Amino acid sequence: MSSTIDASGTRGGGIIRLGGEYQGGKNLVTDEIENARTLVLTDTSKVTAKVMGGNGDGGRIIVWADQKTIVFGQFDVTPGSQSGAGGFVEVSAGDTLTFNGNVKAGLDNRTGTLLLDPKNITIGSSSGDAISSAVFATNESDDSTIAASTINSALSAGTNVVLQANNDITVSNAITANNGGGDGGNLTLQAGRSVLVNANITTDNGDLTLIANDITSNGVVDAQRDSGAAVITLAAVIDTGTGAFTSTIRAGTGKTNLTSGDITLSTVTAGSLVATNSGPTSGSDIFDTGVLTITGTSSFTTSVSDAVITLDSANVFTGAVALNTTGSSGNATVVNGTTALDIAASSVGGNLTLTSGNEDGITDSGTVTVGGNLSATTDANNGEINMGTLAVDGTFALNTHGSGAATVVNDAGINLVASTVGGALSVTATTEDITDSGTLTIAGTSLFITGASGSNIILDSSANAFSGSVTLKAHRG
């Protein structure tokens, strides 16, 4: 087809359906439109459902064919010049999709959405299909290669881009948004199995969402998800500016193949970060292989018992960090370089190991529950440890740099293992005893308080070295 179709309006864009309904109508009880088998839009085609006036939401355009969709046309679903939400464009096929068109869906920071989809998607060079495929298909789909330049154009225009593949999505060429009039659009990559990022992604403050092992209720076609573990692997640099970065491995509910693996994060710069591994397979962990620089809050969660969180690069978490694991071997480790480390409300089934080289050291801003042992270390700049809302079942190892002090308050007893504190030490056990099972080397003053009736303070390691005064307050509030 090489013509103009226009459903624009003064108060809102209209609805245009070419060849079928949204995702081929597969989730509709009654599909009003008979699906096309093949649909072709040439580069002279113009499909428009924009707002002609100042106010109103952009329109909705669906382009679908059961077998083959080839699109080189132009789409415009922009909202009103003053107000209104961006519009929506879906270009999809049940089998083979080739897309190298141009989409205008947003205006200013009012973003619209472009949705595409096949079995596997590779974001590659301009010699590929450009943006081929981006919704979970209904039939067996061919693999597609989408040109990174096509995605760049959409994101740079403030258009949200959603790519869906029933199996894998691989980013092989860099994605770079550059919106001179505002933030870049949001980019979402949804895969039935894995998301593999082998080239840099820069969103110009747009959000980036990676989803692996997606579930059938979200549209994944079970037969198209191959065997093998679902992973999210970053082997390149991610920069969302002030935008949020979200990385999720889902449980794979409803699929025959739902085995899961790790989330591996490389170098990431973002306004906030959420990494959630809900994979059902043992060993579905979260790791980093590069520095995570996050200006806002960060959250890391594993669901399967004994899965671990290991973030041991010289990270830069400026905001609070939440950590959640289950199982007695569900350990969590965070190294925060020379940035102060604030642990938000967290629940760690295994051991918790924390390191910071900032003078403000390590603090907590919510209850930190630890089923195993706590190790807190400041390794530079006379960093301090100040954690007053702890619920630790295991031992405490406290080590500060230089003249750094250490203060801990636990809702149970406290058993101190080998620890070295360059400044003052303050230890409070609110309900049980304070004991030691390793050498305590304290350069400053020491204060030990127990709050429960009949509780004891027993510090009998023969090599203990208290350089300052020691105050013991058993059964004191």
Each residue's pLDDT expressed in tens, for the chain with a length of 477 residues: 557 999 999 999 999 999 988 878 766 766 678 899 999 998 889 999 999 999 999 999 999 988 888 888 899 999 999 999 999 999 887 777 777 788 888 888 788 888 876 667 777 765 444 343 344 543 344 667 788 988 999 899 888 999 988 899 999 999 999 998 889 999 999 999 999 999 999 999 999 999 999 999 998 889 889 999 999 999 999 999 999 999 999 999 999 999 999 999 999 999 999 999 999 999 999 999 999 999 999 999 999 999 999 999 999 999 999 999 999 999 999 999 999 999 999 999 999 999 999 999 999 999 999 999 999 999 999 999 999 999 999 999 999 999 999 999 999 999 999 999 999 999 999 999 999 999 999 999 999 999 999 999 999 999 999 999 999 999 854
Q: Are 386 and 362 in contact (CB under 8 A)?
A: yes
Would you state the pLDDT for residue 355? 98
Q: Are 91 and 71 in contact (CB under 8 A)?
A: yes
The dihedral through the CA atoms of 391, 396, 397, 403 has a sign that is positive
Nearest partner of 384 among 341, 418, 415, 350, judged by Cα: 341
Nearest partner of 70 among 87, 45, 49, 88, judged by Cα: 45
Residue for token pair 């355009």: 61
pTM: 0.87
CA distance 172 to 187: 16
Would you state the pLDDT for residue 119? 66
> Which residue type, as a one-letter code, is found at position 183?
D
Would you state the pLDDT for residue 313? 97
What are the residue ranges spanned by the domains of the chain?
Answer: 105-473
Would you state the pLDDT for residue 100? 77
Residue for token pair 């980019």: 187
Would you state the pLDDT for residue 364? 98
Give every CB contact of residue 462 below 8 A, 6+ residues apart in sequence.
Answer: none
CA distance 207 to 44: 32
> CB neighbours (10 Å) of residue 37?
12
Q: Are 94 and 122 in contact (CB under 8 A)?
A: no
CA distance 466 to 238: 48
